[in-house]
Structure 1
Protein backbone atom coordinates (compact mmCIF):
# COMPACT_ATOMS: atom_id res chain seq x y z
CA UNK A 1 0.00 0.00 0.00
CA UNK A 2 1.31 3.44 -0.91
CA UNK A 3 2.16 5.81 1.92
CA UNK A 4 -0.58 8.24 0.86
CA UNK A 5 -3.16 5.43 0.80
CA UNK A 6 -2.09 4.24 4.24
CA UNK A 7 -2.30 7.75 5.70
CA UNK A 8 -5.69 8.27 4.10
CA UNK A 9 -7.12 5.03 5.48
CA UNK A 10 -5.89 5.75 9.02
CA UNK A 11 -7.19 9.33 9.06
CA UNK A 12 -10.47 8.36 7.43
CA UNK A 13 -11.08 5.66 10.06
CA UNK A 14 -10.19 8.01 12.91
CA UNK A 15 -12.58 10.67 11.60
CA UNK A 16 -15.47 8.24 11.06
CA UNK A 17 -14.98 6.73 14.52
CA UNK A 18 -14.77 10.16 16.22
CA UNK A 19 -11.18 9.65 17.37
CA UNK A 20 -10.52 12.81 15.36
CA UNK A 21 -13.44 15.04 16.23
CA UNK A 22 -15.02 17.83 14.15
CA UNK A 23 -12.80 20.90 14.22
CA UNK A 24 -9.57 18.96 14.86
CA UNK A 25 -6.68 20.51 12.95
CA UNK A 26 -4.86 18.05 10.71
CA UNK A 27 -1.46 19.72 10.82
CA UNK A 28 0.88 18.44 8.15
CA UNK A 29 3.98 18.25 10.34
CA UNK A 30 2.23 16.62 13.28
CA UNK A 31 0.23 14.11 11.24
CA UNK A 32 3.15 13.17 9.00
CA UNK A 33 5.30 12.44 12.05
CA UNK A 34 2.52 10.55 13.82
CA UNK A 35 1.72 8.38 10.79
CA UNK A 36 5.33 7.84 9.78
CA UNK A 37 5.03 9.33 6.29
CA UNK A 38 6.58 12.31 4.53
CA UNK A 39 4.59 15.49 3.95
CA UNK A 40 3.99 14.84 0.24
CA UNK A 41 1.91 11.64 0.68
CA UNK A 42 0.21 13.24 3.68
CA UNK A 43 -0.89 16.16 1.51
CA UNK A 44 -2.31 13.66 -0.99
CA UNK A 45 -4.22 11.95 1.82
CA UNK A 46 -5.57 15.26 3.11
CA UNK A 47 -6.68 16.25 -0.40
CA UNK A 48 -8.68 13.01 -0.63
CA UNK A 49 -10.30 13.67 2.74
CA UNK A 50 -11.31 17.14 1.57
CA UNK A 51 -12.74 15.64 -1.63
CA UNK A 52 -14.71 13.17 0.52
CA UNK A 53 -16.14 16.00 2.61
CA UNK A 54 -14.45 14.66 5.75
CA UNK A 55 -12.11 17.66 6.02
CA UNK A 56 -12.13 21.27 4.90
CA UNK A 57 -9.33 23.69 4.13
CA UNK A 58 -9.11 26.79 6.35
CA UNK A 59 -6.78 29.64 5.50
CA UNK A 60 -4.06 29.81 8.11
CA UNK A 61 -5.05 26.51 9.74
CA UNK A 62 -4.71 24.01 6.93
CA UNK A 63 -7.02 20.99 6.81
CA UNK A 64 -9.59 20.67 9.59
CA UNK A 65 -11.99 17.78 10.28
CA UNK A 66 -15.39 18.85 8.93
CA UNK A 67 -18.41 19.40 11.13
CA UNK A 68 -21.19 16.85 11.48
CA UNK A 69 -24.57 18.49 11.63
CA UNK A 70 -28.11 17.20 11.79
CA UNK A 71 -29.17 20.05 9.52
CA UNK A 72 -28.44 17.91 6.47
CA UNK A 73 -29.62 14.55 7.78
CA UNK A 74 -32.85 14.68 5.78
CA UNK A 75 -30.85 15.32 2.61
CA UNK A 76 -28.55 12.38 3.35
CA UNK A 77 -31.48 10.07 3.95
CA UNK A 78 -33.29 11.25 0.82
CA UNK A 79 -30.30 10.06 -1.20
CA UNK A 80 -29.98 6.94 0.92
CA UNK A 81 -33.61 5.97 0.28
CA UNK A 82 -33.24 6.45 -3.45
CA UNK A 83 -30.09 4.32 -3.64
CA UNK A 84 -30.74 1.59 -1.07
CA UNK A 85 -34.39 0.92 -1.85
CA UNK A 86 -33.67 0.55 -5.55
CA UNK A 87 -30.60 -1.56 -4.77
CA UNK A 88 -32.74 -3.92 -2.69
CA UNK A 89 -35.14 -4.32 -5.62
CA UNK A 90 -32.33 -5.07 -8.06
CA UNK A 91 -30.61 -7.47 -5.66
CA UNK A 92 -33.85 -9.41 -5.20
CA UNK A 93 -33.94 -10.03 -8.93
CA UNK A 94 -30.25 -10.88 -9.40
CA UNK A 95 -28.78 -12.26 -6.19
CA UNK A 96 -27.85 -15.76 -5.07
CA UNK A 97 -30.63 -16.49 -2.53
CA UNK A 98 -28.42 -18.76 -0.42
CA UNK A 99 -26.13 -15.86 0.52
CA UNK A 100 -29.05 -13.87 1.89
CA UNK A 101 -30.61 -16.85 3.66
CA UNK A 102 -27.38 -17.17 5.63
CA UNK A 103 -27.29 -13.45 6.33
CA UNK A 104 -30.87 -13.52 7.59
CA UNK A 105 -29.97 -16.25 10.10
CA UNK A 106 -26.94 -14.32 11.30
CA UNK A 107 -28.96 -11.14 11.80
CA UNK A 108 -31.56 -13.03 13.82
CA UNK A 109 -28.76 -14.34 16.01
CA UNK A 110 -27.21 -10.85 16.27
CA UNK A 111 -30.53 -9.51 17.53
CA UNK A 112 -30.31 -11.85 20.51
CA UNK A 113 -26.76 -10.92 21.51
CA UNK A 114 -26.09 -8.61 24.45
CA UNK A 115 -22.34 -9.03 25.00
CA UNK A 116 -20.03 -5.97 24.87
CA UNK A 117 -18.66 -6.88 21.45
CA UNK A 118 -22.07 -7.20 19.85
CA UNK A 119 -22.18 -3.59 18.63
CA UNK A 120 -19.11 -3.77 16.41
CA UNK A 121 -20.02 -7.31 15.33
CA UNK A 122 -23.42 -6.00 14.24
CA UNK A 123 -21.88 -3.16 12.23
CA UNK A 124 -19.52 -5.62 10.55
CA UNK A 125 -22.49 -7.81 9.66
CA UNK A 126 -24.45 -4.84 8.31
CA UNK A 127 -21.44 -3.92 6.16
CA UNK A 128 -21.38 -7.50 4.88
CA UNK A 129 -25.03 -7.22 3.84
CA UNK A 130 -24.24 -3.95 2.08
CA UNK A 131 -21.38 -5.63 0.22
CA UNK A 132 -23.56 -8.55 -0.86
CA UNK A 133 -26.25 -6.21 -2.13
CA UNK A 134 -23.64 -4.10 -3.96
CA UNK A 135 -22.23 -7.23 -5.61
CA UNK A 136 -25.68 -8.37 -6.70
CA UNK A 137 -26.55 -4.94 -8.11
CA UNK A 138 -23.20 -4.75 -9.92
CA UNK A 139 -23.61 -1.09 -10.87
CA UNK A 140 -20.38 0.90 -10.41
CA UNK A 141 -22.22 4.24 -10.37
CA UNK A 142 -24.55 3.17 -7.56
CA UNK A 143 -21.65 1.56 -5.68
CA UNK A 144 -19.55 4.72 -5.85
CA UNK A 145 -22.43 6.92 -4.69
CA UNK A 146 -23.16 4.57 -1.78
CA UNK A 147 -19.50 4.33 -0.79
CA UNK A 148 -19.31 8.09 -0.37
CA UNK A 149 -22.68 8.30 1.36
CA UNK A 150 -21.89 5.55 3.87
CA UNK A 151 -18.85 7.41 5.17
CA UNK A 152 -21.02 10.36 6.18
CA UNK A 153 -23.77 8.13 7.54
CA UNK A 154 -21.24 6.33 9.75
CA UNK A 155 -20.25 9.67 11.31
CA UNK A 156 -23.89 10.63 11.86
CA UNK A 157 -24.62 7.22 13.38
CA UNK A 158 -21.97 7.88 16.04
CA UNK A 159 -23.93 10.99 17.01
CA UNK A 160 -26.89 8.81 17.92
CA UNK A 161 -25.02 7.07 20.76
CA UNK A 162 -25.55 3.41 19.93
CA UNK A 163 -28.59 2.14 21.80
CA UNK A 164 -28.60 -1.65 22.47
CA UNK A 165 -32.38 -1.80 22.10
CA UNK A 166 -32.23 0.00 18.76
CA UNK A 167 -29.45 -2.30 17.55
CA UNK A 168 -31.55 -5.35 18.41
CA UNK A 169 -34.52 -3.99 16.44
CA UNK A 170 -32.23 -2.94 13.60
CA UNK A 171 -30.89 -6.50 13.41
CA UNK A 172 -34.43 -7.76 12.84
CA UNK A 173 -34.98 -5.09 10.19
CA UNK A 174 -31.83 -6.19 8.38
CA UNK A 175 -32.99 -9.80 8.64
CA UNK A 176 -36.24 -8.78 6.92
CA UNK A 177 -34.30 -7.10 4.11
CA UNK A 178 -32.17 -10.22 3.62
CA UNK A 179 -35.31 -12.38 3.70
CA UNK A 180 -37.01 -10.29 1.01
CA UNK A 181 -33.97 -10.52 -1.23
CA UNK A 182 -33.58 -14.27 -0.60
CA UNK A 183 -37.24 -14.75 -1.55
CA UNK A 184 -36.57 -12.92 -4.83
CA UNK A 185 -39.39 -10.51 -4.03
CA UNK A 186 -38.28 -6.99 -5.05
CA UNK A 187 -41.20 -5.16 -3.45
CA UNK A 188 -40.89 -6.97 -0.12
CA UNK A 189 -37.15 -6.23 -0.08
CA UNK A 190 -37.82 -2.58 -0.95
CA UNK A 191 -40.52 -2.23 1.72
CA UNK A 192 -38.27 -3.76 4.38
CA UNK A 193 -35.49 -1.37 3.40
CA UNK A 194 -37.83 1.63 3.51
CA UNK A 195 -39.07 0.67 6.98
CA UNK A 196 -35.52 0.26 8.27
CA UNK A 197 -34.46 3.65 6.90
CA UNK A 198 -37.52 5.34 8.41
CA UNK A 199 -36.74 3.93 11.86
CA UNK A 200 -33.04 4.77 11.52
CA UNK A 201 -33.78 8.39 10.66
CA UNK A 202 -36.23 8.80 13.52
CA UNK A 203 -33.75 7.27 15.98
CA UNK A 204 -30.95 9.57 14.87
CA UNK A 205 -33.13 12.66 15.13
CA UNK A 206 -34.29 11.65 18.59
CA UNK A 207 -30.95 10.66 20.09
CA UNK A 208 -28.23 12.62 18.31
CA UNK A 209 -28.63 16.05 19.87
CA UNK A 210 -26.59 15.52 23.01
CA UNK A 211 -23.55 14.15 21.17
CA UNK A 212 -23.65 16.95 18.59
CA UNK A 213 -23.41 19.56 21.33
CA UNK A 214 -20.44 17.97 23.09
Structure 2
Protein backbone atom coordinates (compact mmCIF):
# COMPACT_ATOMS: atom_id res chain seq x y z
CA UNK A 1 0.00 0.00 0.00
CA UNK A 2 1.31 3.44 -0.92
CA UNK A 3 2.11 5.85 1.90
CA UNK A 4 -0.63 8.25 0.77
CA UNK A 5 -3.19 5.42 0.70
CA UNK A 6 -2.16 4.30 4.17
CA UNK A 7 -2.41 7.85 5.54
CA UNK A 8 -5.79 8.34 3.87
CA UNK A 9 -7.18 5.07 5.24
CA UNK A 10 -6.05 5.89 8.78
CA UNK A 11 -7.39 9.44 8.75
CA UNK A 12 -10.67 8.31 7.15
CA UNK A 13 -11.20 5.73 9.88
CA UNK A 14 -10.39 8.26 12.61
CA UNK A 15 -12.82 10.82 11.16
CA UNK A 16 -15.57 8.25 10.73
CA UNK A 17 -15.18 6.85 14.25
CA UNK A 18 -14.95 10.30 15.83
CA UNK A 19 -11.34 10.00 17.02
CA UNK A 20 -10.79 13.11 14.91
CA UNK A 21 -13.77 15.29 15.75
CA UNK A 22 -15.32 17.95 13.51
CA UNK A 23 -13.08 21.00 13.58
CA UNK A 24 -9.92 19.07 14.54
CA UNK A 25 -6.85 20.60 12.91
CA UNK A 26 -4.98 18.27 10.55
CA UNK A 27 -1.54 19.85 10.76
CA UNK A 28 0.82 18.57 8.10
CA UNK A 29 3.90 18.34 10.30
CA UNK A 30 2.10 16.73 13.24
CA UNK A 31 0.05 14.27 11.17
CA UNK A 32 2.96 13.26 8.97
CA UNK A 33 5.06 12.47 12.04
CA UNK A 34 2.20 10.64 13.76
CA UNK A 35 1.40 8.51 10.72
CA UNK A 36 5.02 7.86 9.79
CA UNK A 37 4.86 9.36 6.30
CA UNK A 38 6.47 12.33 4.58
CA UNK A 39 4.52 15.52 3.93
CA UNK A 40 3.96 14.82 0.23
CA UNK A 41 1.86 11.64 0.69
CA UNK A 42 0.11 13.32 3.63
CA UNK A 43 -0.91 16.21 1.38
CA UNK A 44 -2.28 13.69 -1.12
CA UNK A 45 -4.31 12.06 1.65
CA UNK A 46 -5.66 15.41 2.82
CA UNK A 47 -6.60 16.32 -0.75
CA UNK A 48 -8.58 13.09 -1.05
CA UNK A 49 -10.37 13.79 2.23
CA UNK A 50 -11.21 17.28 0.99
CA UNK A 51 -12.57 15.83 -2.26
CA UNK A 52 -14.71 13.47 -0.16
CA UNK A 53 -16.06 16.47 1.77
CA UNK A 54 -14.54 15.21 5.01
CA UNK A 55 -11.84 17.89 5.37
CA UNK A 56 -11.82 21.63 4.68
CA UNK A 57 -8.84 23.84 3.93
CA UNK A 58 -9.39 26.93 6.06
CA UNK A 59 -6.22 28.60 4.81
CA UNK A 60 -3.21 27.60 2.68
CA UNK A 61 -1.62 26.08 5.80
CA UNK A 62 -4.60 24.91 7.87
CA UNK A 63 -6.81 21.91 7.08
CA UNK A 64 -9.52 20.81 9.52
CA UNK A 65 -12.03 17.99 9.79
CA UNK A 66 -15.27 19.16 8.18
CA UNK A 67 -18.15 20.04 10.46
CA UNK A 68 -21.50 18.30 10.09
CA UNK A 69 -24.82 19.79 11.17
CA UNK A 70 -28.53 19.16 10.71
CA UNK A 71 -28.58 20.87 7.31
CA UNK A 72 -25.76 18.58 6.13
CA UNK A 73 -27.66 15.55 7.39
CA UNK A 74 -30.86 16.60 5.62
CA UNK A 75 -28.94 17.09 2.37
CA UNK A 76 -27.19 13.75 2.78
CA UNK A 77 -30.52 11.97 3.20
CA UNK A 78 -32.03 13.73 0.18
CA UNK A 79 -29.31 12.19 -1.95
CA UNK A 80 -29.48 8.90 -0.06
CA UNK A 81 -33.22 8.55 -0.74
CA UNK A 82 -32.81 9.12 -4.46
CA UNK A 83 -29.96 6.64 -4.74
CA UNK A 84 -31.17 3.89 -2.41
CA UNK A 85 -34.77 3.87 -3.64
CA UNK A 86 -33.48 3.54 -7.20
CA UNK A 87 -31.05 0.83 -6.11
CA UNK A 88 -33.84 -1.12 -4.40
CA UNK A 89 -35.97 -0.98 -7.55
CA UNK A 90 -33.12 -2.20 -9.72
CA UNK A 91 -32.16 -4.93 -7.26
CA UNK A 92 -35.74 -6.25 -7.33
CA UNK A 93 -35.46 -6.54 -11.10
CA UNK A 94 -31.89 -7.80 -11.36
CA UNK A 95 -30.80 -9.24 -8.02
CA UNK A 96 -30.30 -12.78 -6.78
CA UNK A 97 -33.71 -13.52 -5.25
CA UNK A 98 -32.45 -16.43 -3.16
CA UNK A 99 -29.62 -14.38 -1.67
CA UNK A 100 -31.97 -11.60 -0.60
CA UNK A 101 -34.41 -14.15 0.81
CA UNK A 102 -31.57 -15.56 2.91
CA UNK A 103 -30.72 -12.06 4.18
CA UNK A 104 -34.37 -11.47 5.03
CA UNK A 105 -34.28 -14.59 7.17
CA UNK A 106 -31.16 -13.32 8.96
CA UNK A 107 -32.83 -9.98 9.66
CA UNK A 108 -35.71 -11.91 11.22
CA UNK A 109 -33.44 -13.38 13.88
CA UNK A 110 -31.03 -10.61 14.84
CA UNK A 111 -30.24 -9.99 18.51
CA UNK A 112 -29.31 -6.47 19.57
CA UNK A 113 -28.79 -6.62 23.32
CA UNK A 114 -25.01 -6.61 23.69
CA UNK A 115 -22.38 -4.65 21.83
CA UNK A 116 -21.02 -7.70 19.93
CA UNK A 117 -24.56 -8.40 18.72
CA UNK A 118 -24.91 -4.81 17.53
CA UNK A 119 -21.57 -5.11 15.74
CA UNK A 120 -22.83 -8.27 14.06
CA UNK A 121 -25.98 -6.42 13.03
CA UNK A 122 -23.97 -3.62 11.40
CA UNK A 123 -21.93 -6.28 9.62
CA UNK A 124 -25.19 -7.79 8.35
CA UNK A 125 -26.22 -4.37 7.01
CA UNK A 126 -22.84 -4.10 5.28
CA UNK A 127 -23.47 -7.46 3.59
CA UNK A 128 -26.93 -6.26 2.55
CA UNK A 129 -25.38 -3.10 1.05
CA UNK A 130 -22.74 -5.14 -0.80
CA UNK A 131 -25.38 -7.46 -2.24
CA UNK A 132 -27.49 -4.45 -3.26
CA UNK A 133 -24.50 -2.87 -5.01
CA UNK A 134 -23.81 -6.07 -6.93
CA UNK A 135 -27.46 -6.42 -7.90
CA UNK A 136 -27.94 -2.98 -9.47
CA UNK A 137 -25.18 -3.58 -12.06
CA UNK A 138 -24.52 0.15 -12.39
CA UNK A 139 -21.04 1.39 -11.54
CA UNK A 140 -22.08 5.05 -11.48
CA UNK A 141 -24.86 4.40 -8.99
CA UNK A 142 -22.73 2.26 -6.70
CA UNK A 143 -19.90 4.82 -6.74
CA UNK A 144 -22.35 7.51 -5.66
CA UNK A 145 -23.69 5.22 -2.92
CA UNK A 146 -20.17 4.56 -1.61
CA UNK A 147 -19.61 8.31 -1.24
CA UNK A 148 -22.88 8.74 0.65
CA UNK A 149 -22.06 5.84 2.97
CA UNK A 150 -18.67 7.39 3.75
CA UNK A 151 -20.49 10.34 5.29
CA UNK A 152 -23.23 8.19 6.78
CA UNK A 153 -20.73 6.41 9.02
CA UNK A 154 -19.94 9.79 10.63
CA UNK A 155 -23.61 10.57 11.12
CA UNK A 156 -24.28 7.23 12.79
CA UNK A 157 -21.33 7.76 15.15
CA UNK A 158 -22.51 11.23 16.10
CA UNK A 159 -25.94 9.84 16.99
CA UNK A 160 -26.41 7.64 20.02
CA UNK A 161 -27.43 3.98 19.80
CA UNK A 162 -31.17 3.66 20.22
CA UNK A 163 -32.18 0.04 21.00
CA UNK A 164 -35.79 0.52 19.90
CA UNK A 165 -34.65 2.11 16.64
CA UNK A 166 -32.25 -0.77 15.94
CA UNK A 167 -35.07 -3.30 16.35
CA UNK A 168 -37.29 -1.28 14.01
CA UNK A 169 -34.42 -0.94 11.53
CA UNK A 170 -33.97 -4.72 11.44
CA UNK A 171 -37.67 -5.13 10.61
CA UNK A 172 -37.41 -2.48 7.89
CA UNK A 173 -34.35 -4.11 6.33
CA UNK A 174 -36.16 -7.45 6.39
CA UNK A 175 -39.10 -5.99 4.47
CA UNK A 176 -36.79 -4.46 1.86
CA UNK A 177 -34.99 -7.79 1.43
CA UNK A 178 -38.31 -9.67 1.13
CA UNK A 179 -39.57 -7.19 -1.47
CA UNK A 180 -36.40 -7.59 -3.53
CA UNK A 181 -36.48 -11.39 -3.23
CA UNK A 182 -40.09 -11.45 -4.51
CA UNK A 183 -39.31 -9.07 -7.41
CA UNK A 184 -41.67 -6.40 -6.04
CA UNK A 185 -39.88 -3.24 -7.16
CA UNK A 186 -42.57 -0.82 -5.94
CA UNK A 187 -42.59 -2.32 -2.45
CA UNK A 188 -38.78 -2.39 -2.35
CA UNK A 189 -38.61 1.32 -3.16
CA UNK A 190 -41.43 2.23 -0.76
CA UNK A 191 -39.98 0.17 2.10
CA UNK A 192 -36.61 1.87 1.52
CA UNK A 193 -38.31 5.28 1.61
CA UNK A 194 -39.99 4.48 4.94
CA UNK A 195 -36.75 3.11 6.39
CA UNK A 196 -34.79 6.25 5.46
CA UNK A 197 -37.53 8.54 6.76
CA UNK A 198 -37.47 6.76 10.12
CA UNK A 199 -33.66 6.68 10.20
CA UNK A 200 -33.43 10.43 9.60
CA UNK A 201 -36.00 11.20 12.29
CA UNK A 202 -34.12 9.02 14.78
CA UNK A 203 -30.73 10.57 14.00
CA UNK A 204 -32.01 14.12 14.32
CA UNK A 205 -33.80 13.31 17.57
CA UNK A 206 -30.66 11.70 18.94
CA UNK A 207 -28.52 14.70 18.05
CA UNK A 208 -31.09 17.02 19.60
CA UNK A 209 -30.98 15.04 22.83
CA UNK A 210 -27.18 15.18 22.87
CA UNK A 211 -27.03 18.96 22.45
- Name the residue aligned to 2:125: 126
TM-score by length of 2: 0.95
Contact 1:27 1:62 in 2 (8 A): yes
1:191 is the counterpart of 2:194: no
User: What RMSD in Å do the two structures reach over aligned CA positions?
Assistant: 1.4
Instruction: Note the C-alpha offset of 1:60.
Output: 6.2
Q: 1:4-24 deviations in whole A, cap 9, x for unaligned?
A: 111111111110111110011
Instruction: Note the C-alpha offset of 1:80.
Output: 1.0
Q: 1:62-83 deviations in whole A, cap 9, x for unaligned?
A: 2100101012322221111111
Question: Which sections of structure 2, spanning at least 5 residues, go unmatched?
Answer: none
Q: In 1, Cα distance between the equivalents of 2:61 and 2:41?
A: 19
Q: 1:135-185 deviations in whole A, cap 9, x for unaligned?
A: 110111111111111111221222221112211110111111111111111
Contact 2:23 2:65 in 1 (8 A): yes
Question: Which sections of structure 1, spanning at least 5 residues, go unmatched?
Answer: none
Residues 45-64 of structure 1 aligned to structure 2 (within 5 Å): 45-59=45-59, 61-64=61-64
- Name the residue aligned to 2:150: 151
Residues 74-85 of structure 1 aligned to structure 2 (within 5 Å): 74-85=74-85
Residues 32-111 of structure 1 aligned to structure 2 (within 5 Å): 32-59=32-59, 61-110=61-110
- Name the residue aligned to 1:175: 174
TM-score by length of 1: 0.93
Superposed structure 1 runs of 4+ greater than 2 Å apart: none
- Name the residue aligned to 1:22: 22
